[in-house]
């Protein structure tokens, strides 16, 4: 079995350690090397990344994490050969970054980083706009497929094993919530960190109906929250899923919810 298809979580942590130490092999090694070069190129791009077409090209160079399902069947020309890459509808996350760019943030916390796809793109993008930028990557385990030199270059602080509870009430310019998608955890992450975001709190998977079975999941929490906050803050949704994707006939899937505090964090 190629080393990038190890299925269990212990194997994924071992794989992350090998990548960190520069000891990965095959396509994984080639792709993490390429990701470092991409980071260097994006930092050199600076404000050119604010041109949407150029940013989408950079997203395409980063690519999507190879999967063996049908989840993003219409994006076959985006897939990598290894687990390196995004696990998102790429244009949704690109538009999320572009929306936040008006604040030129200097800090972001991401809750739930998995292999580090969104962490990488966010850190490279925001650091290109603001050299002071730092990203705090919070997860219950370290599966991040970035070499140490890339992590250092982009000022990513890996915080594992941790949850939002370890950062209660700390203020970050941007908070991106993509951890446990249950109702309990979506709400907990918002109460611990999201409501204290100085500028923007984003939620990934506001249409993750596959996570709704037990307690309503993030789908239920987001619908409560968006209505609760819409009078006070700008609340937006970035949803680009194609018909036929996800588990519903109408293709309603993934999606990013945005609460814009505009410098006035919720109490
Ligand atoms: C969907 S993945 C994140 C994907 C990542 N944001 C991306 O798009 O590349 C969810 C991650 O959340 C982590 N996780 C699960 N429960 C968590 C919790 N309570 N707090 C923090 N992270 C959690 C998992 O270990 C997993 O890595």
For each of the chain's 267 residues, which pLDDT tens digit applies?
Answer: 334 433 457 799 999 999 999 999 999 999 999 999 999 999 999 999 999 999 999 999 999 998 777 678 889 999 999 999 999 999 999 999 999 999 999 999 999 999 999 999 999 999 999 999 999 999 999 999 999 999 999 999 999 999 999 999 999 999 999 999 999 999 999 999 999 999 999 999 999 988 888 899 999 999 999 999 999 999 999 999 988 777 788 888 999 999 999 987 655
As a whole number of angstroms, the distance between CA 163 and CA 168 comes to: 9
Its domain, for residue 227, covers: 3-260
Q: Look at residue 267 in the predicted model and tell me its pLDDT.
A: 54
Q: Look at residue 3 in the predicted model and tell me its pLDDT.
A: 43
CA of 202 to the centre of ligand 1 (A): 14
Q: pTM (2 decimals)?
A: 0.95
For residue 155, give the CATH number of its domain. 3.40.50.150
Q: Is residue 267 part of a domain?
A: no
Q: Is residue 198 part of a domain?
A: yes
CB-defined site of ligand 1, < 6 Å:
87-88, 111-114, 117-118, 138-141, 143, 163, 178-180, 185
As a whole number of angstroms, the distance between CA 29 and CA 230 comes to: 45
Q: Is residue 209 part of a domain?
A: yes
* Atom from ligand 1 closest to the CA of residue 205: 1
CA quadruple 33, 36, 40, 45: dihedral sign: positive
CA of 264 to the centre of ligand 1 (A): 27
Q: Look at residue 4 in the predicted model and tell me its pLDDT.
A: 45
- Domains of the chain: total: 1
Q: Answer for the pair 150, 39: CB distance below 8 angstroms, yes or no.
A: yes
Taking only Cα atoms into account, the Rg of the chain, rounded to an integer number of angstroms, comes to 17
Q: Is residue 66 part of a domain?
A: yes
Q: Is residue 132 part of a domain?
A: yes
Q: Is residue 265 part of a domain?
A: no
As a whole number of angstroms, the distance between CA 122 and CA 93 comes to: 9
Q: Is residue 34 part of a domain?
A: yes
């Amino acid at each position: 079995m190629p080393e990038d298809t190890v299925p269990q979580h212990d194997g994924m942590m071992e794989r992350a350690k090998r990548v960190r130490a520069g000891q990965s092999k095959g396509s994984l090694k080639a792709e993490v090397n390429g990701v470092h070069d991409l980071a260097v190129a994006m930092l050199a791009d600076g404000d050119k990344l604010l041109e949407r077409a150029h940013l989408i090209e950079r997203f395409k160079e980063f690519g999507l994490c190879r999967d063996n399902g049908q989840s993003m069947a219409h994006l076959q020309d985006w897939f990598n050969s290894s687990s390196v890459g995004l696990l998102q509808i790429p244009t949704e996350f690109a538009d999320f970054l572009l929306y936040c760019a008006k604040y030129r943030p200097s800090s972001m916390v991401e809750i739930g980083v998995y292999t580090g796809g969104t962490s990488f793109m966010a850190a490279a993008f925001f650091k290109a706009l603001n050299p002071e930028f730092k990203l705090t990557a919070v997860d219950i385990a370290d599966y991040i497929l970035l070499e140490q030199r890339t992590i250092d270059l982009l000022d990513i602080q890996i915080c594992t094993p941790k949850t939002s509870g370890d950062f209660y009430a700390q203020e970050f310019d941007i908070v991106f919530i993509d951890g446990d998608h249950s109702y309990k955890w979506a709400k907990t992450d918002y109460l611990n960190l999201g409501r204290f975001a100085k500028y923007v709190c984003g939620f990934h998977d506001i249409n993750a109906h596959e996570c709704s079975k037990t307690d309503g999941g993030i789908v239920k929490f987001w619908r409560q929250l968006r209505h609760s906050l819409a009078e006070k803050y700008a609340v937006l949704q970035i949803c680009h899923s194609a018909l036929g994707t996800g588990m519903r006939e109408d293709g309603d899937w993934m999606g990013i919810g945005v609460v814009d505090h505009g410098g006035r964090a919720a109490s």
